[in-house]
Amino acid sequence: MTQQIVTVFGGSGFLGRYVVRALAATGASIRVACRRQHDAMFCKSMGDVGQIVTVQCDVRDKKSVVAAARGADCVINLTGILFERGTQTFDSVHGKGAFCIAKAARDNGAHRLIHVSAIGADEKSESVYAKSKGTGEILVKEAFPDVVILRPSLVFGPEDDFFNRFSMYARLLPFLPLIGGGNTKFQPVYVCDIAEAIVRSLKDKSSTGKTFELGGTQIVTFKELMQLILKTVERRKILMPIPFWLAGLMAIFVEAGLAVPSKIMAGLTPPPPITPDQVRLLQYDNIVNNDSYSFADLGVSPVSMEAILPTYLSRYRPGGGLRKGFND
């Protein structure tokens, strides 16, 4: 991949920073395209002088997308949102935005497009998030038939939302919620493994036009994840089952309560702890289909949660991880 130009849309995000670092190690010239250019400045230190540049781009703005993709040999789309706010909707980012990127990649002569979606993507899903991901995949394939689609399960790593959020709850609350009783299954995957899969799919021509589902070494329930978090942060908390209907009702009230402040103080209000759509999404397992292409087809061996979680969740332990816990 030496001397190739790779444009990474969403390169300043959680997954993006690891993809940029992995690409830099191959010698590629990298453009990090994101809405707020200054948010990606830290990426420059991941490569040699001049190897990584940042460009301002909004996937809802066709001109900025075309400019970011111009002259690129490979294009990677990592853009995505977990909840809607203002003009940042699932359709505008996962659907229309993804199509805009794919079309720009095709029209600018890129020979490779990697599109990161999510396990559960389905244009017929009851979840707006999963439906938009499924619709996005269809639109991307129409614009760039040889696209490589990667669908990861729940992603973990130092900047993740899920494990950090519930570890914080374990520090502040007397209980942890078990949405729907905690029976939903996940196959958490390490962020660096996804980055490695992306780099390999760029080089492996046999991946052309294929969809890969990426999951980690273990299939665990939501309850087991909560238990693992408590063990890792060395805290004892009550695990409280909350029926889906009640969780959905609570999410509606929280979302309504944040609606007005988010309009008055756009960008300053905290993200909702859970949305009604996320409750709907939790009613379905998030694991790799046995018939799909996976890490094995790309030659990647995933890392276990137990090997990684303690490296960044220790700060949530009593004393900030600086004193011995009850397991010592």
Is 183 part of a structural domain of the chain?
A: no
Q: Please, which residues have CB within 8 angstroms of residue 206's CB and are 6 or more apart in sequence?
A: none
The single residue listed with the structure tokens 């890969």 is 212
Give pLDDT tens digits for 3-52.
Answer: 799 999 999 999 999 999 999 999 999 999 999 888 889 999 999 999 99
Give pLDDT tens digits for 224-233.
Answer: 999 999 999 9
Give pLDDT tens digits for 295-314.
Answer: 999 999 999 999 999 999 99
Percent of the chain with pLDDT over 70: 93
Q: Are 52 and 24 in contact (CB under 8 A)?
A: yes
CATH of the domain at 32: 3.40.50.720
Please state the rounded mean pLDDT for residues 101-116. Answer: 97
Tokens of 174: 């007397």
Is 273 part of a structural domain of the chain?
A: no
Is 241 part of a structural domain of the chain?
A: no
In the predicted model, is pLDDT for residue 324 greater than 70?
A: no
In the predicted model, is pLDDT for residue 322 greater than 70?
A: no
Query: What pLDDT score does 260 carry?
Result: 65
- What is the distance between the alpha carbons of residues 222 and 281, in angstroms, rounded to a whole number? 13
Q: Residue 41 to residues 25, 37, 177: CA-CA distances in angstroms?
A: 18, 7, 37
Is 293 part of a structural domain of the chain?
A: yes
Is 195 part of a structural domain of the chain?
A: yes
- What is the distance between the alpha carbons of residues 310 and 316, in angstroms, rounded to a whole number? 10
Across the chain, mean pLDDT equals: 93
Please state the rounded mean pLDDT for residues 193-199. Answer: 98
Among 230-244, 254-268, 303-317, the minimum mean pLDDT is found in 254-268
Is 268 part of a structural domain of the chain?
A: no
Query: What pLDDT score does 272 carry?
Result: 83
In the predicted model, is pLDDT for residue 199 greater than 60?
A: yes
Count: domains in the chain:
1
Q: Residue 164 to residues 71, 168, 317: CA-CA distances in angstroms?
A: 38, 6, 12
Is 49 part of a structural domain of the chain?
A: yes
| Cα-Cα-Cα-Cα dihedral sign, residues 270, 131, 58, 8 | positive
Is 134 part of a structural domain of the chain?
A: yes
- What is the distance between the alpha carbons of residues 158 and 309, in angstroms, rounded to a whole number? 8
Q: Which of 229, 212, 193 is nearest to 116 (CA)?
A: 212
Query: What pLDDT score does 328 carry?
Result: 47
Q: For residue 118, what are the domain limits? A: 5-153+189-215+288-302
Please state the rounded mean pLDDT for residues 84-97. Answer: 91
Query: What pLDDT score does 219 carry?
Result: 98
Query: What pLDDT score does 39 carry?
Result: 87
Query: What pLDDT score does 30 carry?
Result: 97
